[in-house]
Structures are given as structure tokens and as C-alpha cells.
């Protein structure tokens, strides 16, 4: 290992003036810290002092080579220092030392320190080498001198050494359910940490706009391993035969060094595509995390339909309101003008695909492509209910006994009942479809190879759709339909008793606990489910002003205002209490304002990660108050996303803004009161 591979410019200091051995050690330890070679200065210095206690590493002739094999070292490295006037380092010849090389070796890194120590000792025996180093005018010249003498003495050996691997040592793929914030934050954190550690890293992002910075086949072939920091399924077949580390996208943001080091240290098992899902689960993914991952895969594909369709519908209502139909439109509100009718029609169609897409991609996440058809069908049955089949059954008296069968097993009588299982039914249908297809795959695994081609085109879709149809029509649609009815009644009851304030407070607080994590997503998914429930109620004859429908919109409004508070509150605190935040944190205030206004709660993540015990309680209280106030003011929202850009569609917009500002102010003031000043 060449000296210049271990010695960086950040680790070189020339023309230093010191007055003691301890000061010299401190100076060189700091050089190692600046070079990114060590994690803990105190622990590393303790190792250096322990070695010095066994005998001075100043070998005479003005040379000292302190060294330590230490747990605080994250990569092998050198620090070099020239002290023209010398310093007493307890040298064997009693003379002051003026040329220092400090070696840092990882505790589990073999005997790299002995190899480097041996090489340095041999080179430093050359008086010319020492003289040129002491006379070096700058760091570049210092490194060139090292290279020149090392080439002269070890050149032939170096040329026969194994050539350096080209490309990136570590690759990464990042993906979060929404593909908006976490995806790119994880990619940036991994790439930045890779640069700091000296391990080139390229991160592919699977964001809302598709795959960016895609990994090439050559890069995959040449890398040491791949980190997949994702909360949804990504393409993995291309990584077959390479070490692959599966983890959460949050770990990519908060634990980049740990993940990179696992790849570099060779502690990650080789991935094989056929057994990939099993290996992933066995390597630490719990059943709960797998369920969450499948659900988030469905949610991430569903969101564009919800957001696009929801905002189109909200614009239809806005157009009718502007045209004066807000109080006179009645059941036709949203379609009173040709333009609003167009927006409503298109928005309804997009929203109508929400549940089938959710179910389809949950099934896809579980069973791959064969799960899509079965999942989409189950989702369609969940969103449309049993109305069509029931009307056919009751219109044909000759079916006789089948009518009794339906009454008994579908829990409905003549005239029907609420068999639209909707959003909840779509989740159930997705998981059912996925596991049905997995069961069929296992059942057909021993079929002759000649039948391989008909499995995905005939057996899986035909049998799968038949089974999901039976399960949804006769079991889950009626049962979940009753649950949805109960949920609507509960919301109506909360509204009648004015307890929606409590619901709004809880939902707002949930948005600020983990800033885009499972709790935040649970609240948001609940809100989109409420919009679906409202759409079902309106489709079944309810008006927009009905209590249950308004309760659904109130819940969504509380969720969005709660999610907008943390970034804004933190940005305000950065301005009001600058001593509480680092220079880098203060510099991100503007971007936090933009993210807060856009309903991207994730802008608060770096602050919460840096100081969770102080930041999270402040954001939680502020967001909870905002959600509670929004609900108390009966603010409504029919769009599932958009932040400030959909405020024109909010019911009681001025009070909604008041709720948002009050919650943000509470967060900012609490941060100012309880957060400690930074150094």
C-alpha cells in the first residue's frame, strides 16, 4: 500500500510550531480527523498514548512515527507534520523531532500499520528523502517527494500489484413510497458520506418522476456491493450474484456510514434473484416491515391518481364557487358549468382508478407481474361493490335458491346494502390477490415444463380472478362495507358532538411524529381514505353539505395543515433564534419554507435527526394544535395534496391559514425555549 494512497492533503501540516509532545499528538490526531480517518479523537489519542507508554516512537534523526491500531479508525490513513524548530518527543537519541508520520490502522484491518511502518522506516533511512521533505514548500510538493522516493525503492513491486478497480466501489438505489423527499435525501446522504470516506458511490433514485441516475451494467459488475435503501420494491434482477444490502430508506438518510462500511468490509451476503425475497426477510426484514413495504408499494403508485384526480375535482368545486353556485348548486355542485363538469368528470375517472391501482400494485409487490391482473380485479370489485351482481340476482326470480344463498352469505337482502368496501377493501384485495398468486405459483411449480407458458397467461389470471371474485363479492365487500358504514356514522357522530377537534388534533400530531415515516403515512393514508369515503357517499346520493361528507373533508384538512407546520415552524425558529441552530441548518431555512408551503413534511427530518429529543416534541405540539384548530373551525379540504397551492379550494380558508400560522408559531417558540444553543 503506497504512502500517497494513505496520505491526503488534509492530513499534511508544514511549518508547525509546538512546545510539547502532547501538543504534537493532539495536532496530528486533528489532522486524522480532518482527513476523515477516525470517528473519535479521544479514543484514538488514548491508543496513541498507550503505545507511547510502551516506548517512544521517536526513532531518532529527527523522526517520529506514532501509530495505533484502534477501533476509532474507520479507514487506514497517515498524517504528516513538519516542525522546523523541532519538539521534544522523548527520542532515543535525545534530539528534538521535526518530521512526524502518524499511522492510523483499523482494529479489524489486519496488520496494515506494520506494513506502512516498515515501508516508512526504510524510506526515512535515506537522508536525502528526509531533507527534501523538511524543505517542501507546499503539500503538493511533499506528496510528489513521497511518490518519487517510493517509486525508486518499491516501483517494481508496485507495478506488479493488482490494478485498482475502476468505477464505483459502492452503488445504491433509494426509493420511498411517495418518491418526493426521502428518496433524494437518502441518495444525497449516501453519496456525500461515500465521498467523505473515500469510497466512490453512485445512487440511483426511484422517485415520483421515474428512475434517475440509473446504474449501468458495467458499474454493477465492477462494484463491491449495492445498498438498496427503499420502502417499496425496486428492480433487483440486475444485481443477481452481487452483495446486496436491503434496508429502509430512513437508514440511508440516518446511517449512511454504517451501510457503506458493511459493503466495504464484505459483511453483506450475495443476492440471488430467485431467493431474493426470502433472503431479504431472513436478513432482518420482519413480517411487519414486509407488510408495510407491500402496502407502500401500492400507495406510491396510487398517489398520482389521488393527487391529480383530487385536485381536478377540487378545481371543479372552485369553479362553481366562483360562478356563484356554492350555495345553490345542491347535488349538482361541481358540475354546474361546462368547465367545472369537465374537471369533475376527468377527476372522478382518475380517482376511480385509485383503489384498483392500490390493490394491483400491492399484489405486484408480493407476487410480481402475475399479481397485477388479480389485484386490479379485486380493487375494482372493492371500489364498485356488489350492486351490479345483486341487481341482476334480484331481477331474476328463476334464480330462486341463489337469492337465498346471496342473502345468507353476502349479508344483504333485496334492495342491497353498502357493499362498497372502497379503500380498506382495496388494501385487503391487494394482499389477498398477492398471496393467491403465490399459492398458485407453488401449486403449479411441479407442472411439466411444456405448460410453463400457460401459467402466467391462463392459470394465474383465470383461477386468481375467480378466487378473488368469490372472496370479495361474498365475504369482504359486505363485511368491509358494514365497517365503512360504521366509520361514516362515527364521523357523523363526532361532528354532531363537536369531537372532530379531537380527531383533528390527533391526525395533525401524527403528521409530525416521524416526518414522513410510518405514523405520518398512516395519517395521510387515512385522509385519502376519507376522501374516497366522501366520494362513495356522494355517489350513493349524499350531498356535499351532509355531515358525514363534511367530516371526511375536515379530517383531510387537519392532516394537511399538520404536515405543513414542522418545516415552517423550524424555519421561523432559525430566524428568531439563530443561536439554537448550526450555520448549515440556518442556511436551509428558505428551502424549509418552500417544502412547508408545498406540504412536504420531510423538510424537518435533518433537524429532527440531529436533535430528536427537542425538535420532535415541538413539531408534534405545533402540528397537533394546527390540526385541532382547523377541525374546530370546520375547515374542509377536498384535495389530497398541494399545500398552499390548493388553499383556494379550502373551506374557511382564512381560519385555515390562522390554524397553520398558530401551529407554526407554537413550534418555533417551543424550539426557542427548550432547544440548547449550539457551539
The residues carrying an active-site annotation are 67, 176
Residue 602 CA to residue 625 CA, distance in Å, equals 19
Burial pattern 636-675, b for ≥16 Cβ within 10 A else e, equals bbbbbbbbeebbebbbbeebbebbbbbbbbbbbbbbeeeb
- Residue 203 CB burial class (10 angstroms; 0-12, 13-18, ≥19): buried
Backbone angles phi, psi at 286, to 5 degrees: -75, 170
Rounded to 5°, angle at Cα 242 from 238 and 248: 80
Rounded to 5°, angle at Cα 166 from 150 and 196: 75
The overall longest dimension of the chain from CA atoms, in Å, is 113
- Residue 376: C-alpha distances to residues 36, 204, 247, 535, 536 (Å): 51, 29, 28, 20, 19
Q: Which strand ranges, in their side-by-side order, compose the sheet holding 170-175?
A: 210-212, 201-207, 170-175, 225-230, 244-247
Q: Beta-carbon neighbour count of residue 413 at 10 Å?
A: 12
Q: Residues 6 or more apart from 22 whose CB is under 8 A from it?
A: none
Helices (H), 511-611: 518-539, 547-576, 583-587, 589-597, 605-610
Burial pattern 371-400, b for ≥16 Cβ within 10 A else e, equals bbbbbbbbbbbbbbbbbebbeebbeeeeee
Residue 12 CA to residue 15 CA, distance in Å, equals 10
Q: Residues 6 or more apart from 328 whose CB is under 8 A from it?
A: none
- The helix (H) or strand (E) run that includes residue 98 is strand 97-106
* Packed helices 547-576 and 500-510: angle between N→C axes, nearest 10 degrees: 50
- Residue 232: C-alpha distances to residues 289, 295, 466, 562 (Å): 11, 8, 28, 25
- DSSP-derived letter for residue 83 is E
Q: Beta-carbon neighbour count of residue 619 at 10 Å?
A: 30
Is the CB of residue 381 less than 8 Å from the CB of residue 472?
yes
Is the CB of residue 129 less than 8 Å from the CB of residue 149?
yes
- Residue 31 CB burial class (10 angstroms; 0-12, 13-18, ≥19): buried
Residue 218 CA to residue 167 CA, distance in Å, equals 8
Amino acid at each position: 500500500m503506497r504512502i500517497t494512497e494513505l496520505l491526503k492533503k488534509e492530513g499534511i501540516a508544514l511549518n508547525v510550531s509546538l512546545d510539547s509532545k502532547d501538543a504534537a499528538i493532539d495536532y496530528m490526531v486533528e489532522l486524522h480527523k480532518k482527513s476523515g480517518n477516525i470517528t473519535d479523537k479521544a479514543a484514538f489519542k488514548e491508543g496513541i498514548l498507550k503505545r507511547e507508554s510502551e516506548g517512544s516512537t521517536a526513532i531518532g534523526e529527527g523522526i517520529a512515527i506514532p501509530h495505533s491500531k484502534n477501533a476509532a479508525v474507520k479507514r487506514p490513513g497517515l498524517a504528516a507534520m513538519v516542525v522546523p524548530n523541532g519538539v521534544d518527543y522523548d527520542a532515543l537519541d535525545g534530539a528534538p523531532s521535526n518530521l512526524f508520520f502518524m499511522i492510523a490502522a483499523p482494529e479489524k484491518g489486519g496488520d496494515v500499520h506494520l506494513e506502512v511502518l516498515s515501508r516508512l522506516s526504510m524510506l526515512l533511512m535515506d537522508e536525502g528523502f528526509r531533507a527534501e521533505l523538511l524543505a517542501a514548500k507546499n503539500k503538493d510538493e511533499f506528496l510528489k517527494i513521497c511518490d518519487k522516493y517510493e517509486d525508486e525503492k518499491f516501483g517494481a513491486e508496485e507495478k506488479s500489484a493488482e490494478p485498482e478497480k475502476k468505477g464505483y466501489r459502492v452503488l445504491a438505489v433509494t426509493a420511498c413510497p411517495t418518491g418526493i423527499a426521502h428518496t433524494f435525501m437518502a441518495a444525497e446522504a449516501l453519496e456525500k458520506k461515500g465521498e467523505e470516506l473515500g469510497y466512490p458511490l453512485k445512487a440511483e433514485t426511484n422517485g415520483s418522476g421515474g428512475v434517475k441516475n440509473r446504474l449501468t451494467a458495467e458499474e454493477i459488475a465492477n462494484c463491491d456491493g449495492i445498498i438498496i435503501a427503499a420502502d417499496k420494491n425496486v428492480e433487483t434482477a440486475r444485481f443477481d450474484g452481487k452483495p446486496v444490502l436491503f434496508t429502509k430508506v430512513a437508514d440511508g438518510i440516518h446511517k449512511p456510514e454504517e451501510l457503506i462500511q458493511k459493503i466495504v468490509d464484505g459483511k453483506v451476503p450475495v443476492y440471488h434473484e430467485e431467493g431474493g425475497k426470502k433472503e431479504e426477510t431472513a436478513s432482518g426484514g420482519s413480517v411487519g416491515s414486509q407488510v408495510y413495504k407491500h402496502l407502500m408499494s401500492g400507495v406510491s403508485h396510487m398517489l398520482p391518481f389521488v393527487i391529480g384526480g383530487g385536485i381536478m375535482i377540487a378545481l371543479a368545486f372552485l369553479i362553481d364557487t366562483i360562478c356563484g353556485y356554492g350555495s345553490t348548486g345542491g347535488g349538482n355542485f361541481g358540475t354546474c358549468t361546462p368547465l367545472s363538469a369537465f374537471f369533475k368528470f376527468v377527476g372522478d375517472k382518475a380517482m376511480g382508478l385509485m383503489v384498483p391501482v392500490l390493490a394491483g400494485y400491492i399484489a405486484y409487490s408480493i407476487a410480481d407481474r402475475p399479481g397485477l391482473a388479480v389485484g386490479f380485479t379485486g380493487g375494482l370489485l372493492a371500489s364498485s361493490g356488489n350492486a351490479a351482481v345483486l341487481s341482476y340476482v334480484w331481477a331474476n326470480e328463476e334464480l330462486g335458491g341463489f337469492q337465498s344463498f346471496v342473502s345468507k352469505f353476502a349479508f344483504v337482502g333485496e334492495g342491497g346494502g353498502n357493499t362498497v368496501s372502497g379503500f380498506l377493501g382495496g388494501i385487503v384485495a391487494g394482499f389477498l390477490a398477492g398471496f393467491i398468486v403465490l399459492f398458485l405459483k407453488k401449486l403449479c411449480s411441479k407442472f411439466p415444463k411444456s405448460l410453463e407458458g400457460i401459467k402466467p397467461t391462463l392459470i394465474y389470471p383465470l383461477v386468481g380472478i375467480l378466487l378473488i371474485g368469490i372472496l370479495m363479492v361474498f365475504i369482504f365487500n359486505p363485511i368491509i362495507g358494514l365497517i365503512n358504514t360504521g366509520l361514516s356514522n362515527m364521523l357523523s357522530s363526532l361532528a354532531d358532538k363537536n369531537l372532530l377537534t379531537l380527531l383533528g388534533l390527533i391526525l395533525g400530531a401524527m403528521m409530525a411524529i416521524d416526518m414522513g415515516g410510518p405514523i405520518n403515512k398512516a395519517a395521510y393514508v387515512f385522509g385519502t381514505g376519507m376522501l374516497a369515503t366522501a366520494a362513495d357517499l356522494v355517489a350513493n346520493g349524499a350531498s356535499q353539505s351532509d355531515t358525514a361528507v363534511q367530516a371526511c373533508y375536515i379530517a383531510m384538512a387537519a392532516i394537511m395543515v399538520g404536515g405543513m407546520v414542522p418545516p415552517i415552524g423550524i424555519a421561523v425558529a432559525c430566524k428568531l433564534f439563530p443561536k439554537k441552530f448550526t450555520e448549515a441548518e440556518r442556511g436551509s431555512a428558505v428551502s424549509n419554507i418552500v417544502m412547508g408551503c408545498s406540504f412536504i413534511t420531510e423538510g424537518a427530518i435533518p433537524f429532527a435527526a440531529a436533535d430528536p429529543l427537542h425538535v420532535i416534541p415541538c413539531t408534534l405540539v405545533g402540528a397537533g394544535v394546527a390540526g385541532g384548530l382547523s377541525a374546530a373551525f370546520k375547515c374542509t379540504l377536498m384535495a389530497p395534496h398541494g399545500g398552499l397551492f390548493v388553499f383556494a379550494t379550502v373551506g374557511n380558508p382564512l381560519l385555515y391559514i390562522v390554524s397553520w400560522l398558530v401551529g407554526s408559531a407554537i413550534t418555533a417558540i417551543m424550539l426557542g425555549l427548550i432547544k440548547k444553543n449550539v457551539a
